[in-house]
Structure 1
Amino acid sequence: MIDDAGEAGAMYQREEELTLREYAGEIRELGSRWLDGVLSDPQVEAAGGDAVCSPAGLWLALAAISCGALGDTADELADLVGLAGPEAAPLVTAVARDLAGTDALAAATGIWSRAPLREEFAAGLPDVGCGPLGDPAAIAAWIRDATGGLVDKPPAAPGPDTRLILVNALALRARWAEAFAPADTREAVFRPAAGEPARVRMMSRTLPHADVWTIGAYGGSVHVAELACAGEQPAVVRFALGPEGMPPATVMAAAWAPRSAGNPVPYEEVRLSLPRFELRTSLAVHGHLPALGVELALDEHAAEFGGLSSEHLYLQRVDQECVVRVDEEGVQAAAVTDVQMAWMSYTPPPPTLNLAFDRPFACAVMDASGTVPLFAAYQATAPRPGGEPVAAHPAG
């Protein structure tokens, strides 16, 4: 028989697991909604369509900052990340810790601030380091350490009016559970989305059919192949291939769709050919946020982050830099997402109002509740002085 404490602990564990599964769906949803902004970003278009982003990194950064949001600002951030306000802090911490449980994945969040942080905000996010915003080199050193040198500086340097910067870093350095044999790497032709075919170094290995499936999508089926990394709780890496002409967002979303949504392929074994590749993308994410429903948080007159600081702050910018490298040995990937906050604009009070009742005016004498007009008057002519001063009469 399980005692009460044991039952409570088991129930808490079940609730925590349920919560984490729920927010995994929120991260996928954020990624799907964000893809249009990513793929139409000028940096991606200039790179010929090459893109790498981190939905998890963006979610963790926005979710952490949303814990200091109040009112309508909290509501719009909750619509995007699924939670907001001071009560969300334990959930954000739980999701971050669960993600960090993946073997070979490092996850860290830091805040550097000139604005005074509310004690309850800092206490609610115990895994988030806090320090003064001063030397930008200190932030760059933290990022290099957190990503193992894959990213060496913030995606955007703090400006002179930046009051607070929150940085989330994710970094993965993992070996394949079964490496590609270098001897099987050959030159092969790669047909890009635009331009002439090119010769690349193509790795090759076999996969069991259970690690390959298809996802039905508008315009055809997407093949998804999954490779496991080494470890007891390993990361898995999926590669998705759609028919020619399928929109990139559709193919990318198929790669992170739940495995249960796929259909098995009717083959006993699959021969996988995959190029070595490295991608790096820097994104000014704040330009994408209005399309995702986040406007008040970016409004220097309307943002509400009173749960974060006693200063009136707004989201000045959100940036992300990502890199991913894949070769015969394994995968390396890193994402740094920073949220910068600045003072809200100061609106000076208007000049003194000189309110002179020097023309016709009305008067109402109201009851104590201020709802019943006991007497009402309108002074249209030049007022005449009254008679005797009003005498006070005792109640009763």
Structure 2
Amino acid sequence: MTDGSTTSAIPTTRAIQHLAQRWIQDGMAAGAAGAAGTAGRGREWGWRRARTVPAAGFVCSPAGLWLALAAVAAGARGGTAAELRALLGTADREAAPAVTEVARELATTGALGVATRVWSRVPVLRAYREALPDVRFDPMDPAAVDAWVREATGGLIDRLPLEITDDTLLALVNVLALKARWEKPFEGWRTQDLPFTDAAGTVREVPTMGKDVPVADAWTAGGAYVVELRCAGEPDGGPGARVRLVLGEPGAGPERVLPAGWAPRTAGVPLDTDRVTIGLPRLALRTRVPVTGQLPALGVRLATSDDADFSGLSPEPLLVSDVIQEAVLKIAEEGVEAAAVTVVAMAPAGAAPRPQRVQHIAFDRPFGVVGLAGADDVPLFTAWQADIPAEPDA
């Protein structure tokens, strides 16, 4: 995955950075305004660009999204391929070797797992399968998909972030999973409760880790402070992952701050100081991003329409029906854990959507709750919610 790659129209590292910039700046901005919690599945997230920092945090994987979309783009032809190439830097027959190259090079990072699989109800062309030698192809089996996601992410994500229905003819799923120790862990005795000011201006004390970092591992770029923390490498010599923390100017949003994290280190300005110490909150983030609705803002329209051309993937006419990513990030004294599952689901092109009957039940007045035993209807717990519901403890 070098800037000298000849397998794609844009060198792959820059292509993924380009996607990251577009996704955060334009795609996320096209998402639903605000953020809504989803019980047990993380937060569905998006914001419309404004002059304020988004109130909700998020985690996403540009590399995971690129690998999934580029693998599908390997089967795109004509105008569909042209749109995907403009976003990804590659499409059509040139995309498959680029996907293989990127996945293999990422997998050399210590403690990082990279895998892509396809489950399908329709025939997949032999040429497409042979062009992606590291991708496994299986008959559609929703239970097997969930089991693989759980295993591949080490339990960080317990199932596919999409319900597979009878209309789902093909699902391409990419997983990135990292579980790494810091090269120099934070010392537990230095962790203490310190104030953190959220995007709304609310100040709360949170457990905050502290450590010294080499002066050479901190710099400024674009008005932001950047600090690089290294993860331990593999015994066989695989380099460890690097985690860059980016602190922008007050009020700066992610579309301005985050690009400093993947900008070349040589573009930064060294700090004029003798010592650098950091205070970093322990954190856990989980986000589910419905990318499908963001694709038009990223210039991808044909792939989700009846005019989609994926004739290099299957003899059946297909369109992209859903693109969803769920991602998790945990940072603590000993190390970092992260995982992302990106699914591109495909449905029959040209098929009229089946009408849905929806019954919405709003528990917006006094209601009852009954907890039953697993094997029979013994009422273990009963409750009546008559007043304004209180928030459960975190």
Instruction: Tell me whether 1:249 sits opposite 2:255 in the alignment.
Output: yes
Instruction: Tell me whether 1:91 sits opposite 2:98 in the alignment.
Output: yes
1:24 to 2, 10, 13: 13
Alignment of 1:152-171 (within 5 A): 152-171=158-177
Instruction: Tell me what 1:222 maps to.
Output: 224
- 1:4-53, Cα deviation, whole Å (9 max, x unpaired): xxxxxxxxx99559979921111011011001333663486336321111
Instruction: Tell me whether 1:330 sits opposite 2:335 in the alignment.
Output: yes
Alpha-carbon distance in 2 for matches of 1:235, 1:283: 24
Residue type at the aligned position of 1:72? G
Instruction: Tell me whether 1:45 sits opposite 2:51 in the alignment.
Output: no
Deviates more, 1:326-335 or 1:89-98: 89-98
Instruction: Tell me what 1:385 maps to.
Output: none
Secondary structure at the counterpart of residue 162 of structure 1: coil
Structure 2 unpaired stretches of 5+: 38-54, 353-394
Instruction: Tell me what 1:391 maps to.
Output: none
Alpha-carbon distance in 2 for matches of 1:223, 1:82: 30
Alignment of 1:106-185 (within 5 A): 106-133=113-140, 135-185=141-191
Residue type at the aligned position of 1:26? A
> What is the aligned length?
330
Alpha-carbon distance in 2 for matches of 1:32, 1:153: 28
Secondary structure at the counterpart of residue 321 of structure 1: strand
Secondary structure at the counterpart of residue 35 of structure 2: helix
Alignment of 1:335-346 (within 5 A): 335-346=340-351
Q: TM-score, normalised by structure 2?
A: 0.80
Secondary structure at the counterpart of residue 229 of structure 2: strand
Alpha-carbon distance in 1 for matches of 2:4, 2:208: 45
Alignment of 1:254-273 (within 5 A): 254-273=260-279
2:311 to 306, 315, 320: 306
Do the aligned partners of residues 14 and 330 (structure 1) sit closer, same or farther apart at CA in structure 2, a change above 3 Å counting?
A: closer
Alpha-carbon distance in 2 for matches of 1:267, 1:259: 18
As a proportion of its length, which structure holds more helix?
1
Structure 1 residue runs of 4+, over 4 Å off?
Answer: 13-21
Alpha-carbon distance in 2 for matches of 1:40, 1:197: 29
Alpha-carbon distance in 2 for matches of 1:40, 1:87: 29
Alpha-carbon distance in 1 for matches of 2:17, 2:3: 22
Instruction: Tell me whether 1:278 sits opposite 2:268 in the alignment.
Output: no
Deviates more, 1:81-90 or 1:287-296: 81-90
Instruction: Tell me what 1:70 maps to.
Output: 77
Do the aligned partners of residues 49 and 147 (structure 1) sit closer, same or farther apart at CA in structure 2, a change above 3 Å counting?
A: same
Deviation of 1:158 (Å): 1.2
1:61 to 35, 44, 68: 68
Deviation of 1:90 (Å): 1.3
CA contact (8 A) 1:39 1:45 kept: no
Instruction: Tell me what 1:291 maps to.
Output: 297
CA contact (8 A) 2:8 2:89 kept: no
Whose radius of gyration is greater, 1 or 2? 1
Instruction: Tell me what 1:80 maps to.
Output: 87
CA contact (8 A) 2:30 2:297 kept: no
Secondary structure at the counterpart of residue 297 of structure 1: helix
Q: TM-score, normalised by structure 1?
A: 0.80
Alpha-carbon distance in 2 for matches of 1:72, 1:298: 12
CA contact (8 A) 1:155 1:321 kept: yes
CA contact (8 A) 1:43 1:283 kept: no
Alpha-carbon distance in 2 for matches of 1:14, 1:169: 24
Alpha-carbon RMSD across the aligned residues, in angstroms, is 2.1
Residue type at the aligned position of 1:46? A
Instruction: Tell me whether 1:204 sits opposite 2:210 in the alignment.
Output: yes
Alpha-carbon distance in 2 for matches of 1:131, 1:308: 14
CA contact (8 A) 1:39 1:49 kept: no
